[in-house]
Amino acid sequence: MVNLNKRTVYTTVAAIALIALVSLIFYGTLKDEGRVTYSMIENAAALIGLEFTRAEKDSMLGDLNDLLNSYDSLRAIEMPNSLTPAIVFNPILPGMEFENKTNGFSHNRPTNIVRPENLEDVAFWPITKLAELIRTQKVSSVELTNMYLDRLRKYGPVLECVITLTDELALEQAKRADEEIAAGNYKGLLHGIPWGAKDLLATKGIKTTWGSVPFKEQVFDYDAAVVKKLEEAGAVLVAKLTLGALAWGDVWYGGKTKNPWNLDEGSSGSSAGPGAATAAGLVGFTIGSETWGSIISPSTRTGTTGLRPTFGRVSRKGAMALSWTMDKLGPMTRSVTDAAIVFNAIYGPDGEDLTVVDKPFNYNEDIDLSTLKIGYLKAEFDKERDQKAIDDEVLDVLWALGAELVPIEFPDFPVYDIAFILSAEAAAGFDKLTRSGDDDKLVRQKKQAWPNVFRQARLIPAVEYINANRARTLLMMEMETLFKSVDVFVAPTFGSGDLLATNLTGHPAVVLPNGFRENGTPTSITFTGKLYDEGKLLAIAGAYQNATDFHLRYPVLPEK
C-alpha cells in the first residue's frame, strides 16, 4: 500500500482538475459554443459521411455559428416561390449545333367537317376538327365553350379533376373570339378553342391553389406567360384543373383525381387534372408541367398524348417553381398533331424566363420515315413483362412505315443518385413553408411526400448538390453521344431510368397510347428526341399514331 501525505493528494487532485478544466474549455463543454456545438458537428459529419478531428471541429465552430446568423439574416428577406436563383441550367454542351432556319408549321387540314346534330358528340374531337368547325362558323366558340362547361360541371365532380371553373372569363373570351372571326380576323387553329390549365399557372384575379391547403386562397394579379400566349392565340380558358399538392401525385386538398378509364384508380400525377379532363372530353386541350414524369405519367394512365418540351423552350413565368433546373411546361392533348398545334402557340422567349432560348420550331406532319434512324432501347424491349407484345408491335409499325430501326443501349449512369437535385431545389422553393410549420397542412403526410422530403433536403450539403450537377454534365455528354447515331429513340414508358435521365438532361419526349390492357385501361410508348428538335420528334410520333387508332378510343363516363 502506498502512503501519500495530504499535500501530495491535494496537489494531484488539483492537477487533475486543472487538466480536466483545460480539456473542457478546449473541447467545448464549458466553452461558450453558441447554437452550434461540438456534438452537432460530430453528428452532422456522420450524416454526410465525413470525419473531422477535434482540432478541425474547434476551427469550424465559430464560423458555423456565424453562418447560422447569416441564415437568420437571409430568412428575413421575403423570397416568394416566383423568385428565381442567380443560377441558370443550360442543356447545351460546347460544340452542339442546332437548326436555326425557320421552315414553318405544316399540317393536314381535315375536310368535309359537318356539325353533328348533338354538339356534345364533338367533345372528344381533336383540335384540328374543332378548329375547322369554328373557322367555318358551323359552331360558335360560345356554343363550344358552353358544351365543355356543361361537361365540366357534370363529370368534373366524378373525376375530382376541377379546382375552379372560369366560366365568366371563358364566356367573355368566347364571345370575343366569335366577334373577331365574324369580322374576318381568324387568328389560327386555337382561336375559340376551350382549354384547361393545371392549377399551378397564375391567372389574374382567379385562384391559383397549387392543389394545396396552405395556398388554396392564393390569387395573383397577373397571368402566367403561357396563359397570356394562349389568350393571344384566341384560346378560351374554361377551368383550372387539379394537380397533386405542390405537384406530386394525384392527391390534392379536395380529393384524389380519378382515371376516366377506371374510377377505382387515380389518374397519376402531378398533371392529374389535365390528363383526366383531356381524356374525358371535358376540354379541347390542357397545359401540364413536368419535372420528373408529371406529363408522361398521367398521359400514360389516361391515354392522352403528352409533350414534354426541351428544357428552356416554354416560359415558366407565372408557374409554380418546383425545380428551376428541371421544370417544363407542355401540352396534353388527344393527338400528336394537337400537341404540335398547342406547342406552336406557346414556345419561344418572353423576356421573363431567362432559360428560354430562341430556336425555331419546324413541323411537317408528312414526314418520310425512310430517311430517318429511329433508335430503340433493345434491353428494355427484350425484357419479359406484361406489356411486351404491345410494345413490340410499335417497332413492327415503325418498320412497316419504312423507318430504319437501330438497337441502342441507354447510358449506364447512376442517375437516381443525383435525383436529390430536385429535392434540394424544391426545398428551397418552399423554404418558408417548412420553417413556418405550415407543411403540416398538406394532405399527404408520409415518408414519400413533400413535407418529409423538404425536411430531409435541408441536410443536403451544398457541395454535394454542386457535384451532382457536375455529374449531370457527364450524363448530358453521354446523351449527346447516344443521339449521334439516331434521330429519336423509342422506349417502353418507365423503362431503364430514361424518364429521370432525360428530365435531368432537358431532352424532349412525346408519350402516346399504344394499346390497352385486358381490363380496358390504356398503355403507352415514349419517343424521345434531340434538344430543340420537337418538330421531328412530333412528326415521327405522329406517323406512328396515324397508323394506329388507339388515340381515337375514349372512356365511357358514368353519370354523376
Number of domains within the chain: 2
The pLDDT value recorded for residue 417 is 97
- Grid cell digits, residue 193: 378553342
Is the torsion defined by CA of 477, 480, 482, 484 positive or negative? negative
C-beta separation of 327 from 293 below 8 A: no
Asked if residue 559 has pLDDT above 90, the reply is no
- Grid cell digits, residue 209: 391553389
Asked if residue 106 has pLDDT above 50, the reply is yes
Q: Within this chain, do residues 188 and 314 fall inside the same structural domain, yes or no? A: yes
User: Is 106 contained in some domain?
Assistant: no
Note if 198 is an active site residue: yes
Range of the domain at 40: 6-75
Residue 68: half-sphere exposure toward Cβ, Cα within 13 Å: 10
Q: Within this chain, do residues 231 and 375 fall inside the same structural domain, yes or no? A: yes
Q: Within this chain, do residues 201 and 57 fall inside the same structural domain, yes or no? A: no
The DSSP bridge partners found for residue 118 are none
Q: Within this chain, do residues 332 and 395 fall inside the same structural domain, yes or no? A: yes
Closest to 194 in 3D by CA, of 250, 138, 104, 127? 127
The pLDDT value recorded for residue 496 is 76
Q: What angle do CA 123, 330, 248 make, to 5 degrees?
A: 95
The pLDDT value recorded for residue 18 is 47
Q: Within this chain, do residues 288 and 199 fall inside the same structural domain, yes or no? A: yes
Q: Which residues contact 429 (CB under 8 A, 6 or more apart)?
A: 81, 321, 322, 323, 324
Reported as a pLDDT band with limits 50, 70 and 90, residue 28 is: very low
Asked if residue 99 has pLDDT above 80, the reply is yes
User: Is 420 contained in some domain?
Assistant: no
User: Is 94 contained in some domain?
Assistant: no
Q: What angle do CA 28, 32, 34 make, to 5 degrees?
A: 100
Closest to 311 in 3D by CA, of 17, 75, 556, 508? 508
C-beta separation of 507 from 497 below 8 A: no
Q: Using the 8-state DSSP alphabet, how is residue 362 labeled?
A: -
Task: Give the whole-number percent of the chain exceeding pLDDT 90.
Answer: 92
User: Is 248 contained in some domain?
Assistant: yes
Asked if residue 188 has pLDDT above 90, the reply is yes
CATH number for 246:
3.90.1300.10
Residue ending a domain, choose from 75, 94, 123: 75
- Output phi, psi for 221, to 5 deg: -105, 25
The pLDDT value recorded for residue 560 is 61
Q: Within this chain, do residues 262 and 315 fall inside the same structural domain, yes or no? A: yes
What are 380-432's pLDDT values in tens digits?
A: 999 999 999 999 999 999 999 999 999 999 999 999 999 999 999 999 999 99
Closest to 430 in 3D by CA, of 405, 451, 412? 451
The pLDDT value recorded for residue 558 is 86
Residue ending a domain, choose from 22, 47, 75: 75
Asked if residue 365 has pLDDT above 90, the reply is yes
Q: Within this chain, do residues 157 and 17 fall inside the same structural domain, yes or no? A: no
User: Is 1 contained in some domain?
Assistant: no
| Rounded CA separation 59/45 (Å) | 14
Q: Within this chain, do residues 372 and 507 fall inside the same structural domain, yes or no? A: yes
The pLDDT value recorded for residue 514 is 98
What are 117-148's pLDDT values in tens digits?
A: 999 999 999 999 999 999 999 999 999 999 99
User: Is 431 contained in some domain?
Assistant: no
Closest to 148 in 3D by CA, of 171, 123, 131? 123
The pLDDT value recorded for residue 546 is 97
Q: Within this chain, do residues 406 and 543 fall inside the same structural domain, yes or no? A: yes
Note if 335 is an active site residue: no
Q: Within this chain, do residues 29 and 125 fall inside the same structural domain, yes or no? A: no
Q: Which helix (H) or strand (E) holds 463?
A: helix 462-482
Question: Mapping DSSP to helix (H, G, I), strand (E, B) and coil, where does residue 173 land?
Answer: helix
Mean of the pLDDT values across residues 93-114? 92
The DSSP bridge partners found for residue 258 are 266
User: Is 501 contained in some domain?
Assistant: yes
Asked if residue 528 has pLDDT above 90, the reply is yes
Q: Which among 267, 294, 299, 323 is annotated as catalytic?
A: 294
Q: Which among 268, 270, 271, 299 is annotated as catalytic?
A: 270
Residue ending a domain, choose from 15, 46, 75: 75
User: Is 90 contained in some domain?
Assistant: no
Q: Which among 57, 140, 141, 198 is annotated as catalytic?
A: 198
Asked if residue 32 has pLDDT above 90, the reply is no
Q: Within this chain, do residues 53 and 173 fall inside the same structural domain, yes or no? A: no
Q: Within this chain, do residues 291 and 385 fall inside the same structural domain, yes or no? A: yes
Indicate the average pLDDT of the chain.
94
| Rounded CA separation 252/256 (Å) | 6
Task: Give the whole-number percent of the chain exceeding pLDDT 70.
Answer: 94
Asked if residue 27 has pLDDT above 60, the reply is no
List the end-to-end C-alpha distance of the chain, in Å, as a whole number. 96
Closest to 140 in 3D by CA, of 192, 196, 189? 192
